[in-house]
């Protein structure tokens, strides 16, 4: 699951990044509101953690702009205790939840788990497409026809999770590279192809009828033609 953190206080941001990475989230961090907004608009994030007071553009405005452009990514707004009206304004602006600083890390992680389930549309932790089911907790891939299952590597899991979440839509190699490896990595597009082939092998191993199809010159899509 890929998180975007937009927070200008450096120590806070660093501590949050460390915590979230320990919890196995992929995290990208921006300290400026304008950078944060363009990152949100890439559409590659599962959850956005948004501070209110930011240089460039404040959190309320960022949330409003993102919603105006049709971005549905869940947003958790961080507000200072002194900003009493923030809760109302935060929810009005399009944030899904808010948390008052200072907060307990357990509270933050609980909110993120709830927003993550909502983001994936997997209340029970299971994601399905065609004849395959993906367990978001154990990373197990199962095919209903054969009854076979296999555990996916982390990148393979993220690729399938992203394809399923976009059910049937074509994803470009650029979108996949950003989503899986993030803005701050130097990933070559070749990596996408390498991990795509690993993921296809896992699908073949469980004899899934759902396949990853390459759409020439565009990208990839998940298809299940014969179920």
Alpha carbons 79 and 195: distance in angstroms, whole number: 39
β-strand pairing of 219-223 with 171-172: antiparallel
Given a contact cutoff of 8 angstroms between Cβ atoms, the answer to whether 60 and 89 are in contact is: yes
The DSSP result for 187-210, as a single string, is: --HHHHHHHHHHHHHHHHHTT-S-
Q: Kindly tell me which of 52 and 132 has the beta carbon lying closer to Ca ion.
A: 52
Q: Kindly tell me which of 8 and 97 has the beta carbon lying closer to Ca ion.
A: 8
Which residues contact Ca ion by CB under 5 A? 8, 51, 53
Residue 35: exposed, middle, or buried by beta-carbon count in 10 A (0-12, 13-18, 19+)?
middle
Q: Kindly tell me which of 10 and 138 has the beta carbon lying closer to Ca ion.
A: 10
Q: C-beta of 35: minimal distance to Ca ion in Å?
A: 14
Q: Kindly tell me which of 36 and 130 has the beta carbon lying closer to Ca ion.
A: 36
Alpha carbons 14 and 24: distance in angstroms, whole number: 15
Q: C-beta of 55: minimal distance to Ca ion in Å?
A: 8
Q: What are phi and psi of 131, to 5 degrees?
A: -100, 10
Number of C-beta neighbours around residue 81 at 10 A: 10
Q: C-beta of 79: minimal distance to Ca ion in Å?
A: 10
Q: C-beta of 183: minimal distance to Ca ion in Å?
A: 21
Q: Kindly tell me which of 28 and 51 has the beta carbon lying closer to Ca ion.
A: 51
Q: C-beta of 9: minimal distance to Ca ion in Å?
A: 5
Instruction: Establish whether the linkage from the previous residue to 94 is cis, with ω within 30° of 0.
Output: no
Q: C-beta of 87: minimal distance to Ca ion in Å?
A: 17
Q: Kindly tell me which of 8 and 221 has the beta carbon lying closer to Ca ion.
A: 8
Q: C-beta of 86: minimal distance to Ca ion in Å?
A: 12
Q: Which residue is nearest to Ca ion (CB)?
A: 53
Given a contact cutoff of 8 angstroms between Cβ atoms, the answer to whether 47 and 5 are in contact is: no
The Cα diameter of the chain in Å comes to: 58
Q: Kindly tell me which of 51 and 135 has the beta carbon lying closer to Ca ion.
A: 51
């Amino acid at each position: 699951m890929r998180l975007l953190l937009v927070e200008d206080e450096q120590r806070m941001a660093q501590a949050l990044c460390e915590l979230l990475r320990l919890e196995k989230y992929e995290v990208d961090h921006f300290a400026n509101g304008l950078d944060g907004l363009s990152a949100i608009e890439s559409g590659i994030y599962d959850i956005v953690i948004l501070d209110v007071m930011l240089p460039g553009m404040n959190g309320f405005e960022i949330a409003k702009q993102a919603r105006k452009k049709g971005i549905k990514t869940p947003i958790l707004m961080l507000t200072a205790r002194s900003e009493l009206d923030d809760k109302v304004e935060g929810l009005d602006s399009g944030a899904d939840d808010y948390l008052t600083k200072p907060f307990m890390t357990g509270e933050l992680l609980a909110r993120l788990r709830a927003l993550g389930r909502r983001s994936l549309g997997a209340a029970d932790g299971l994601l399905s497409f065609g004849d395959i089911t993906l367990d978001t907790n154990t990373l197990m891939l199962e095919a209903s026809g054969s009854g076979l299952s296999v555990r996916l590597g982390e990148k393979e899991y993220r690729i399938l999770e992203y394809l399923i979440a976009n059910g049937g839509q074509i994803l470009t190699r650029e979108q996949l590279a950003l989503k899986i490896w993030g803005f701050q990595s130097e990933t070559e597009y070749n990596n996408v192809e390498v991990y795509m082939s690993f993921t296809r092998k896992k699908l073949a191993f469980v004899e899934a009828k759902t396949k990853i199809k390459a759409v020439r010159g565009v990208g990839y899509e998940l298809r299940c033609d014969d179920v």
